Amino acid sequence: MNDLDVLRVFCAGDGRHGNALGVVRDGRSCPDDAARQALAAELGYSETVFVDDPERGVVDIRTPGARASFAGHPLVGVAWLLDIEELQPPVGSVWARDDGEFTWITARPEWVEGKRTERYASAAEVDALPAPPPGEGWLYAWAWEDETAGRVRARGFPRRPDGVIAEDEATGSAAILLTAQLNRALNITQGAGSQILTAPGPDGTVEIGGRVRFAPRDARGPAARPCSEPAGR
């Protein structure tokens, strides 16, 4: 697709890592619900975003298997790409800002659905978990690396029935949930080395930020077919 951008969201300081995100900049190129879902499944990223109104920030977020009303790393990525101060996912208005290095969004923890956090005794225990660990349901496994400094080691496991994604490299919504539970600012290292920064607000919101980069072209995988083109042609 000519209007497909692939980003890496929540990159480390050296620009590596981050969670892959597909962004279809012109949602009109893929107006059909079934076609959008098929494309998200074909791309296979944790989420793919369809931009329906770039000026107002209206977006449609898809996982490989379903539509999402809210997700953290897609909104951080789209805010960076569109250079916009407000986004409109299905949950409502999401404010965004950019400080030159990090792109931030402000969200409510109650928007996070279907995820559970579990604390482990050490970062080494988190590192030793298989991908995915046994059990059902979305698991955010975490441990303190330095509690005084607010440094956390985390890994995210969707454990969805389709098994498309065994481990999520960087999960904004789960980081929002953990921040609200602990009620303190966090510096989270997730996955292979992605960095997520968070801070709770006085009104119950959480601000979450990270670095965003375009994915290297040799790391973007095969080009997806246009939405209008039937599969198998």
Please choose, from the candidates 99, 134, 117, the residue with its C-alpha nearest in 3D space to the C-alpha of residue 188.
Answer: 117
Closest to 7 (Cα-Cα) out of 147, 214, 151: 214
pLDDT of residue 226: 60
pLDDT number for residue 164 = 87
Model pLDDT, residue 231:
45
More confident residue, 233 or 74: 74
pLDDT, tens only, 140-184: 999 999 999 999 999 999 998 888 899 999 999 999 999 999 999
Judge whether residue 233 has pLDDT over 50.
no
Cβ contacts of residue 83 below 8 Å, gap of 6+? 98
**Over 127-182, what HEC string results?**
HHCCCCCCCCCEEEEEEEEECCCCEEEEEEECCCCCCCCCCECCCHHHHHHHHHHH
Does the domain at residues 4-89 carry the CATH identifier 3.10.310.10?
A: yes
Q: What pTM was computed for the model?
A: 0.94
Residue-level pLDDT at 162: 80
SS3 70: coil
Provide the residue type at 4 as one letter.
L
Tens of pLDDT along 117-144?
A: 999 999 999 999 999 999 999 999 999 9
Confidence of residue 230 (pLDDT cuts 50, 70, 90): very low
The residues spanned by each domain of the chain are 4-89, 111-213
Q: Do 4-89 and 111-213 agree at the fold level?
A: yes
From 3.10.310.10, 3.30.70.3270, 2.60.40.2240, 3.90.280.10, which CATH number describes the 111-213 domain?
3.10.310.10
In sequence order, the 6+-apart residues with CB closer than 8 A to the CB of 186 are 150, 151, 152, 175, 178, 179, 196, 197, 198
**Residue pLDDT, tens place only, 43-99:** 999 999 999 999 999 999 999 999 999 999 999 999 999 999 999 999 999 999 999
List, as own/partner pairs, every contact residues 81-86 make where C-beta atoms lie below 8 angstroms and the sequence separation is at least 24, other chains included.
81/5, 81/7, 81/23, 81/25, 81/212, 82/51, 82/54, 82/57, 84/54, 84/57, 86/56, 86/57
More confident residue, 219 or 138: 138
Is residue 59 a contact partner of residue 89, using CB atoms and an 8 Å limit? yes
Segment 186-200, tens digit of pLDDT = 999 999 999 999 999
